[in-house]
Amino acid sequence: MRISRLLPILALAIAVSVLAYSWSIGSISTNSITIHALAVSGSNQGAVINITITAVKGLPSYLGGNVYVSAMPLPIGEGGTFISSSQIAAFVATTIAGQSLTSYNFLINVNSSTIEIGGPSASGYMTVGMYSLITNSSLNPSVVMTGMIMPDGTIGPVGGIPDKIRAAAQLGYSTVLIPYGQQNYVSSSGQVINLIELGKQLGVNVIPVATVYQAIQYFTGRSFNLSLQVTPQVSGNISAISAYLYKTLYVNYGNESALGSQADYEAAVSNANNGDYYTAASLLYDALINYYTNLFRNATLAYAKALVANVTAQLNQMTNEINSIQPTTANLDIMVGIYDRIYTAQSLLNTTISDIQADNTANIPGDLAQLYVRVITLKYWFNVLNAINGGNPIPISYLSKLSGLYTSYAYTTVTYLYSLASAEGLTTSLGVINTINQLINQTNEAQSYYQNGLYLEALAVSLDTIASASAIIHTMFLIGGSNASLYLLNVVRNVATYNEALVSQCNGLPVLSSAYVQFGNYWFSQYNSSLAGNPSSTSSQSYFEESLSLYEESIAYSLFLRQLYYELGACPIASYTINYTALQYVPAPSAPHVTQGQSTGASFSIINLAGVNVTYLAIGVVLVAMSIVVLVLKVVKVSR
């Protein structure tokens, strides 16, 4: 018998074994629902396929969080995106329902003997079905849907929609939900079809939906207040922390930032005056990198090696310090953010070492500047972390569980991206495949961290991976030019603010989620302004990508906090305090001095590095001798 025929049987055998075990140790509950997925046959004929979803609750959490798929033929078409999208559907559905993913297992049985199911077009519908099982909601039998679920809860585009609408009309459905942006559907032949008008001709109400929240409302009648805002008390705490970060950076490095980029410096001051402190701090940060990039153009290789040795020692010290701190529900957001920044610094360190080893004088100044600025500003985040007291202590078992969940989720998301790119024929593009390989590299590093018990490091890398992959998927399937881009940014921003608001409803402290939304809004405004000029320019596209990436980063952080609270049963979380008197504006140590006008090959007139000694310099020389190559993703720029 072919192995492909054995796999569905094996999946069912595993599921039955798990159920048998659970019945042996206690009671469980099961609930099933059948959804009617729209599909297209090989002859381009629309069809409706029944998919039965069963939710199993009551297993030990270490056996939960799984999705088992049974189908004949096996759903491996389009890169197997049916399977990966069903896993993402489970994560999104449980989070929206306010439940821990590990509280459930889902069994999916596809009843089709003639049409091979392979794509993700039913995953939005499956998310709705899973949500209905968790919340005991009934689905409107006159409504059907097509659209793929995105990791952030938005609905992505699919193919064959005209034929799917015709099939729904023939079977008597009155409402068909389709992905927003595909109302004017472009067929493979280039024909533009107005799907809303097509629906009217067929007696079907075709409704575009941008998020699964909207879809749930049409199916169940339940609505979500996506305009929900962060609670005033939490908002005040976040604003005070962001103000500290900005003012400290301004006091210590304001002059250097102004020299690095007068435009960024002025924009920073303007945003600070408007209360957008994180945006202001991030603009100063970018300007500071410009300053040191220019400064380090005069650096000798010997100086670069000495600075690398100094930075290596500081990173080791910071890693030891963060490892000694107890994670709580109040400080975990900041802790993961620090681990993310340390990971970024280590990646930059490895890149800089490779530059030095190859005598790559063109790249050394920029890479060294990013590395140096990343490290000298990290101490401010440690000050914030040490000022937060209270919250629920998080046991190592829960950190392991959450980290394992997100490490797996990151792998699923990247697999989803690769499968979609393959189905669209995009993996022949060198740029696309390189980006995907970089994300695969990150998932491998996250898995390595997890296997070595470095759970927060694994979590930090996984969150970045999920956010990056989500943004790329959106960009990959964006249809409709600047209008579609603006609409997408508005939708994703609303989802981001909604999720950070839900964190605050649990009395959580979503500092980074709020910070990324705020800075995303800045780039959104820049993108909006650029459309009056040349909307197809490189800078305009860069503004769009920055904004989208930041919103996705915000969503990733908020969703992980929500899953943590649900897993711990801690909403609201235990009370906490912030010691603002401990957040002092500590003057920075002397900055490296380079006599202007010297070439890269010349010696410094002064080498002023605090803490450099012979031992650290020796470490730097050894590191330079090592062959280390690490790919650094664009997401590095997000983690200011």
Task: Find the mean pLDDT for residues 319-335.
Answer: 96
Q: How many residues make up the chain in this entry?
A: 640
Grade residue 117 by pLDDT with cuts at 50, 70 and 90: low
In contact, 325 and 626? CB cutoff 8 Å = no
- In this model, does residue 249 exceed pLDDT 70? yes
Write down the residue that tokens 């979590």 correspond to.
459
Residue 48 has pLDDT above 60, yes or no: yes
pLDDT of residue 42: 63
3-state secondary structure of 361: coil
Q: Please tell me the pTM assigned to this model.
A: 0.86
Predicted local distance difference test score (pLDDT) of residue 416: 82
**Sign for the pseudo-dihedral over CA of 464, 557, 378, 617:** negative
Per-residue pLDDT tens over the stretch 395-404: 998 899 889 8
Mean of the pLDDT values across residues 2-17?
52
| % the chain with pLDDT above 70 | 83
For the chain, give the mean pLDDT. Answer: 85
Average pLDDT score over residue span 437-441: 93
At residue 582 the predicted structure's pLDDT band, cuts being 50, 70 and 90, is confident
Q: Which two tokens stand for residue 581?
A: 């008197």
- Work out the pLDDT band at 190, boundaries 50, 70, 90: confident
What pLDDT does 12 receive? 55
Highest averaged pLDDT of the listed ranges 23-32, 56-65, 370-379:
370-379
Of 30, 117, 27, 134, the residue nearest 69 (C-alpha): 117
Task: Choose between 628 and 177: higher pLDDT.
Answer: 177
Residue 345 has pLDDT above 80, yes or no: yes
What is the per-residue pLDDT for 408?
A: 87
Q: What is the mean pLDDT of residues 536-548?
A: 89
How far, in Å, CA of 334 to CA of 341, rounded? 10
Q: Which two tokens stand for residue 203?
A: 């007696």
Please give the domain boundaries of the chain with CATH numbers for all domains: 32-220 (3.30.230.10)
Residue 428: per-residue pLDDT: 67
How much is the average pLDDT of 400-426? Answer: 84
Span 120-151, pLDDT tens digits: 889 999 999 999 999 999 999 999 999 999 99
Q: What local confidence, expressed as pLDDT, does residue 248 receive?
A: 94
Please name which of 209, 417, 456 lies closest in space to residue 337, comparing C-alpha atoms: 456
Structure tokens, 573? 């979380």
| Kind plus residue range of the DSSP H or E element containing 186 | strand 184-186
pLDDT higher than threshold 50 for residue 608:
no
Residue 90's DSSP bridge partners are none
Share of the chain above pLDDT 90, in %: 63
Does residue 194 carry a pLDDT above 50? yes
pLDDT confidence bin for 633, thresholds 50/70/90? very low
Identify the residue with better confidence: 411 or 25.
411
pLDDT of 440 higher than 90: yes
Residue 595 has pLDDT above 60, yes or no: no
Q: How far apart are CA 519 and CA 245, in angstroms?
A: 14
Q: What is the pLDDT of residue 590?
A: 52
- Region 330-346: mean pLDDT is 96
Q: Which is more confident, 640 or 383?
A: 383
Tokens of 13: 């055998």
Instruction: Count CB-CB contacts under 10 A for residue 476.
Output: 15
